[in-house]
Structure 1
Amino acid sequence: MFIYGGIGVFLILITANIILNRIIQHKVSEKLQHLSPALKISFSSINSSLITSSLSLNNLIIDYIPDSTEHQHQHAIRFSVVELHGISFLKILFRRTLSINNLNLSNGAMYLDRFLLNKKDTAPMHLFAQPPFEDISINHFQLTAIHVFEHTDKVNKLLLKGNVGIDEINISDATKAFTPDNFHFGAVKSSLSDINYAIPNAYHTLMIKQVIIDSQQGIFQIKSIKLLPQHNKSDFFRSSGNQPLYVEASIADISIFKLDIRNLFDKKLVAEKITINNPDLNIYSEAVGTKQVLSRSFLFIDLKENLAAIQADLFRVVHASITYEETTGDHLQLNGNIETDTLKTRITDSLFSNHDIQFKTLTCALTDIQTVIPGTYQHIQIKRLNIDRKGTLQASSLRIIPQYNKFEMGQKAGHQIDVVDAAISGITITKLDLLKCLQQKLIAEQIWIKESNISIFRDRRLPRISQYQPLPVAFLKSIPIHIRVHHFKVSPSTLSYEEFPKDGLQTGLLKIEKLQLSLSPFISHPTPSDPDHMDLHMEGSIMGSGTINASVSLPFNPGKDYYISGAIDNLDVTSLNPSAENLGNFHVESGLLNNLSFQFSLNDEKASGKVVGEYHNLVLDKLKGNKKIAKFPSFMLKHVIIPKNKDKSLPVARRTGTIDYKFDHTRFFSFYLLKSLLSGIESSFTFGFLLPK
């Protein structure tokens, strides 16, 4: 009886198991069929086991059709095997809870319709308005050998392939959106490869060889990244519907350590360390403002929609090569390394606004920097630029180079311009606040420009633009950059000014050697607590002879005058012939300027002051156009206008000239200073008004 009873119970259990499995299979099939009106689900067979708490589906097919009137546009999912192990059937029946130990989906293919992707269909947000389960928990989820394709009417293009594993998935309320409060998961381990993604409406394709994620090891690595435009550079803007950014880029790899994957749901990339190796970026954009470019570029719009902020304890860019060019011809090119500590960025329409990026320290070592000064035909080249953790910026071997020869530059501009050709051995800025630089503020202890050779050329034969030129302090206040530097200095340098006269046959040259300059403080937007002026001091040697020194007081209060004082000593006046002969049409036979001291003030209206001179053996000849001596004008210069000697034996009053010069607002400050000084020299002679103009 015991044996028969046992066999009976066993048969009853088997029968009950078969019946219950049939019921489960039927219920699962029914639930799948009515899961959502937008989903069409089918499979070849279904198997379940109460004993092993498992369920499997073979050849599962899911078609997502958001619009029943357009069956040709649909997403589709195919899996050869779907296995669920460790299912709690009691929770499903009595608590509407789906609890699974292992969910494995093998040999899958996903077909994403390009039309629906571009349309950005929102139906998936409401796909499960009445889900069969209130909450879902999966101990381990595994996608094996998954292939994702982009589907069009003509072809299926592979977007990516690989494996994905996620532990401890929990959805608290299946009726709500997947937010960090509602969707939780544990460790993630995946390997995806052959990623090929056409960014919607941006006319660029993103290609990635491999993406490796291992959250337990704290590793997120992206290998071999390429961003390629879908049209040639020459016709990109026209063929892309006036998309403003053309970007061709490659990156060897991006390594992200200790990434908090959960923050990605909030569009935040938070990690301990981010390293970008060997980025090579070539960016070409329309000649419009940066904000306008970004607001119109789907490249940036896509980035902004998927990533709102970046945070990292250490951010590093290694062996970068970046080239930026605009349709106007303006460009920037650099190579090198960049590293920041405690980086925090927020991505907005303007890329980075005043407070969108923060960091503790920034270091970099950049080389071969090349750019164009906006609105000019001048290039800047920097051989090397370093920034250390103390905020010391060092730039070495700087060049400012005209794009064309000095005569063509003015012709290109169509008016008079200063053509600058300069070689600067180096620039050092100490205690630079780099974070403030991103807010258009230059705050530092000192700016030191080292030995330089600067040449300036102007062609006076071209028309001159008559536009208002403010005094130095007013100009500094007008620029948007806030400069606050304790001390600005220039080491002994050479400054050459060459000019082709309006009526002449060749250029004249004036050179100041061993020029040194010091300015303290250097402030563009003063505050009430700042000093009331800046002190400028400079000294040098005119044409390699004698010395000149000058001090200038630059007041912050617009109602105050500028004060200038200084002296020229022991100048061999014949050294001025390269300028005097070609620009002034006179020749210096001999002369030594022992001393010329000057003190005057100036404002927006005029300059007032005096000069006191002492010279010996000064003999001048007036020249004709062919540089022959004009006898009568030369006689007047030698015997009537300019005495041969003025020494200390003469009373000071006879060696003093009055500075009285009206300010021409269309001229630069340097012209104002020179003309004021010359007006005093002219008035120091009895018949100075007869001097050639």
Structure 2
Amino acid sequence: MLLYGGIGILVILITANILINRIIQRAADERLQHLSPQLKISYSSIKSNLFTSSLTLSNLTIAYTPDSNKHHHSVHFSEVKLSGIHLLTMLFRQTLSVNNLKLSNGEINLDRFLMNRKDTAPMQLLAQAPVKSISVNHLQLNTVQVWEDHQLLLRGNMGIDDININNLKNASTAGNFHFGDVKSRLSDINYILPNAYHALTAKQVSVDSREGLLEIDSLQLVPQYSKVDFFRQTGNQPLFVASSVAGISIYHFDIRKLFDKKLVAEKIILNHPVLNVYSEPNNPRLSSLFIDFKKMLSAIQTDSFKMRHAAIAYETTTGGRLELHGDIEMDKPDIRITDSVPDIRFKTLACALTDIHASIPDASQNLQIKQLDVDREGTLQATSLKTTPQYDKMEMGRKAGHQVDVVDATISGVTISKLDVAQCLQQKLVAEQIWIKESNYYIFRDRRLPRLSRYKPLPVAFLKSIPGHIRVGHFKVSPSTLLYEEFPKDKLQTGLLRFEKLQLSVTPFINHPTPSDPDHMELHMEGAIMGSGTIKTTISLPYNPAKDYYVNGAIDNLDVTTLNPSAENLGNFHVESGLLNHLAFQFSFNDEKASGKVVGEYHNLVLDKLKGQQKKIAPFPSFMLKHVIIPKNKDKSLPVDRRTGTIDYKFDHTRALSFYLLKSLLSGIEASFTFGFLLPK
């Protein structure tokens, strides 16, 4: 009887299982077919198992067509298996609770038109679902491919734990969707940014949220057109970016923040990033590239950001170019993605850059820096700086169509102490000291070309016109050499003027002072003229435009014959002999004129006036110079008033400050002679 009873119960259970499974299958089929007229669902078979509480669909295909047009999304999986279904929870709580949901061999086809349309129908479909909420302990997607308009976006595997949607009617609201750990491995990623004419590609992306690790292999940002055709083909988009990163490692990141468009992590490392940017600087259009990035990611926050072996190049359509290589590290960066350029803030920055090259088209100059280092204490060290003209010195002026200063300089190094690097990104230069080390400067000007009559403000007014803020405690230049060469308007040869051991300092160096700052800057300068004698001067530069600048200085022990390379070709006179023992000068100047005096002392000064291109001595003018205009000696035996000249010179605002100061000094020297008005001009 027990045996027969057991067999009977087993038959009943098997029969009941078959019947109930058929009821479940029919109910599932009916629910699937009547979810929405916008959904077309098909499958080859459906199986259920009451004992294991599982449901399996083979070759499931879902097509979503929101309206009568041909645009649609579709999903296909060779197998969909739900196991550990809590039937009582579904019946009494209207919650689809599943232990495991496994989707295998899937293909997801997305329609770009529907993706860009911001369609709200998917949310409405969820609201029409036969359950109110969903709970899945583990979701596994195996061998899934995602396509958009027949173009592969990505392929790979993904696992997600503890998925909960509390209310399907509010599926899109914050706080309604929760999930636990995520582990995935995606490959062949190729995503076209909708409006920016660029594509994001990656060889592989691995995510393990339990370990807090995100790794990206071979990430690239690829323009859809070549640099030559980009602006024309894209409707005058202002930004072309070609970039690649060999590898990105992100440690202890918060994957949930990604759904808020924020990347929050403990450490981000970029290996071998290469960035090439080509832009139209005067294009008023906003960059769609930044707009699309902002839609995907609005902020990056991390404790440590590193770029290892970076190569960055920036070029403009106007000819500007910047290239650099090296390593960059930032602590506590906070990067906000805006519609134009990223807003970058950080606590400290350290970098070691090499082989920096820049082209400055407005000045037709090239800049080279062999190495630039910044440490976390804010010390910037730059070595082997060179600025060179882009064309021959004669060609520079001809291309400009007017007189220009052609600069060729070599600087051994620059050190900036206690630099606030973070404020540099806000157009603020804040530092304790800027030190320019030993340098060689060469400046050439062709006076045969027309001169631009352009207003030139005084130094403080010019500094105040700079839009950025400069706040440096001390600015200094170590002993350097300055060679100035000029081609006169009516001569066949150039004239040279050389300053050696030239050094200067400015304290403080501020362009937008506050009430607590000093009322002026103090400039000290000294050097040797043509390798002989010394010149020392101090200039007080007041911040108040109503106050005068004040100059105080002296020239000592100058062998005047050393001035012949300049005097013969620029001044049309020759110095036979002469020693300027001492020339003191004190004068003030403002926007209108310079006023002051010079007091001189010299010995054995003999000058000849030259004439013609052959620079032959003009007899009569030379006689007048030697015997009437310029006494041979003026020493301390003469009264001071006989050695004093009055400075009274009107300021020409179309001239540079150096010209103003030199002419003011020469006007005093001329006035110190009885017949100074007859001196060569």
Superposition TM-score, scaled by structure 1 size: 0.96
Aligned-residue Cα RMSD (Å) equals: 1.6
State the shift of 1:242 in Å: 1.7
2:176 aligns with one of 162, 178, 182: 182
1:75 aligned partner: 73
Q: What is the rounded CA distance, in whole Å, between the counterparts of 1:37 and 1:449 in structure 2?
A: 76
State the shift of 1:378 in Å: 0.5
State the shift of 1:227 in Å: 2.2
Answer whether contact 2:599 2:645 (CA < 8 A) is retained: yes
Q: What is the rounded CA distance, in whole Å, between the counterparts of 1:246 and 1:266 in structure 2?
A: 27
Answer whether contact 2:290 2:338 (CA < 8 A) is retained: no
2:639 aligns with one of 643, 646, 651: 651
Q: What is the rounded CA distance, in whole Å, between the counterparts of 2:123 and 2:293 in structure 1?
A: 21
After TM superposition, the structure 1 = structure 2 runs for residues 201-600 of structure 1, keeping only pairs within 5 Å, are 201-288=195-282, 292=284, 295=286, 297-352=287-342, 356-373=343-360, 375-600=362-587
State the shift of 1:8 in Å: 4.6
Answer whether contact 1:38 1:64 (CA < 8 A) is retained: yes
State the shift of 1:345 in Å: 1.4
Cα distance change on mapping 1:580 and 1:208 into 2, 3 Å:
same
SS of residue in 2 equivalent to 1:425: strand
State the shift of 1:125 in Å: 4.3
Answer whether contact 1:35 1:128 (CA < 8 A) is retained: no
Cα distance change on mapping 1:133 and 1:422 into 2, 3 Å:
same
1:663 aligns with one of 651, 654, 676: 651
State the shift of 1:83 in Å: 0.5
1:149 aligned partner: 147
1:197 aligns with one of 191, 204, 208: 191
**Quick one: which amino acid aligns to residue 116 of structure 1?**
L
Q: What is the rounded CA distance, in whole Å, between the counterparts of 2:218 and 2:41 in structure 1?
A: 37
SS of residue in 2 equivalent to 1:91: helix
1:508-560 Cα distance to aligned partner (Å, 9 max, x none): 11111000111111101000010111111010000110000000111111111
Cα distance change on mapping 1:180 and 1:569 into 2, 3 Å:
same
What's the % identity of the aligned pairs?
Answer: 70
2:22 aligned partner: 22
Answer whether contact 1:504 1:625 (CA < 8 A) is retained: no
Cα distance change on mapping 1:476 and 1:127 into 2, 3 Å:
farther
SS of residue in 2 equivalent to 1:682: helix
**Quick one: which amino acid aligns to residue 557 of structure 1?**
N
State the shift of 1:2 in Å: 5.5
Q: What is the rounded CA distance, in whole Å, between the counterparts of 2:424 and 2:560 in structure 1?
A: 46
2:48 aligned partner: 48
Q: What is the rounded CA distance, in whole Å, between the counterparts of 1:357 and 1:53 in structure 2?
A: 53
State the shift of 1:19 in Å: 2.9
**Quick one: which amino acid aligns to residue 464 of structure 1?**
R
State the shift of 1:229 in Å: 1.9
Answer whether contact 2:165 2:171 (CA < 8 A) is retained: no
1:117-165 Cα distance to aligned partner (Å, 9 max, x none): 45555543444342322221111111100112232xxxx3322111011
**Quick one: which amino acid aligns to residue 187 of structure 1?**
D
Cα distance change on mapping 1:629 and 1:119 into 2, 3 Å:
farther
1:58 aligned partner: 58
2:667 aligns with one of 667, 672, 679: 679
Q: What is the rounded CA distance, in whole Å, between the counterparts of 1:256 and 1:37 in structure 2?
A: 44
Runs of 4 or more above 6 Å deviation: none
Cα distance change on mapping 1:36 and 1:587 into 2, 3 Å:
farther
Q: What is the rounded CA distance, in whole Å, between the counterparts of 2:347 and 2:76 in structure 1?
A: 49
Cα distance change on mapping 1:48 and 1:444 into 2, 3 Å:
same
Q: What is the rounded CA distance, in whole Å, between the counterparts of 2:458 and 2:204 in structure 1?
A: 59
Q: What is the rounded CA distance, in whole Å, between the counterparts of 2:617 and 2:30 in structure 1?
A: 114
Answer whether contact 1:110 1:147 (CA < 8 A) is retained: yes
Q: What is the rounded CA distance, in whole Å, between the counterparts of 1:452 and 1:126 in structure 2?
A: 72
State the shift of 1:663 in Å: 0.9
1:618 aligned partner: 605
State the shift of 1:358 in Å: 2.3
**Quick one: which amino acid aligns to residue 411 of structure 1?**
R
Answer whether contact 2:290 2:337 (CA < 8 A) is retained: no
Q: What is the rounded CA distance, in whole Å, between the counterparts of 2:502 and 2:272 in structure 1?
A: 42
Q: What is the rounded CA distance, in whole Å, between the counterparts of 1:280 and 1:432 in structure 2?
A: 27
Answer whether contact 1:188 1:213 (CA < 8 A) is retained: yes
SS of residue in 2 equivalent to 1:512: strand
Answer whether contact 2:157 2:184 (CA < 8 A) is retained: yes
1:111 aligns with one of 103, 109, 123: 109
Q: What is the rounded CA distance, in whole Å, between the counterparts of 1:223 and 1:288 in structure 2?
A: 36
SS of residue in 2 equivalent to 1:455: strand
Q: What is the rounded CA distance, in whole Å, between the counterparts of 1:324 and 1:686 in structure 2?
A: 61
Q: What is the rounded CA distance, in whole Å, between the counterparts of 1:496 and 1:41 in structure 2?
A: 84
Cα distance change on mapping 1:502 and 1:67 into 2, 3 Å:
farther
Q: What is the rounded CA distance, in whole Å, between the counterparts of 2:451 and 2:171 in structure 1?
A: 66
Cα distance change on mapping 1:148 and 1:624 into 2, 3 Å:
same
Superposition TM-score, scaled by structure 2 size: 0.97
Cα distance change on mapping 1:466 and 1:122 into 2, 3 Å:
farther
1:222-268 Cα distance to aligned partner (Å, 9 max, x none): 00122222222221211222222222222101110111000001100
**Quick one: which amino acid aligns to residue 260 of structure 2?**
D
State the shift of 1:7 in Å: 4.5
- Between stretches 5-14 and 599-608, larger displacement belongs to 5-14
Cα distance change on mapping 1:628 and 1:119 into 2, 3 Å:
farther
1:145-196 Cα distance to aligned partner (Å, 9 max, x none): 0112232xxxx33221110111111111211244551111111111011112
State the shift of 1:360 in Å: 1.6
Q: What is the rounded CA distance, in whole Å, between the counterparts of 2:226 and 2:63 in structure 1?
A: 37
SS of residue in 1 equivalent to 2:170: coil
2:163 aligned partner: 169
Flag structure 2 segments of 5+ consecutive residues without an equivalent: none
Answer whether contact 2:500 2:530 (CA < 8 A) is retained: yes
Q: What is the rounded CA distance, in whole Å, between the counterparts of 2:101 and 2:536 in structure 1?
A: 85
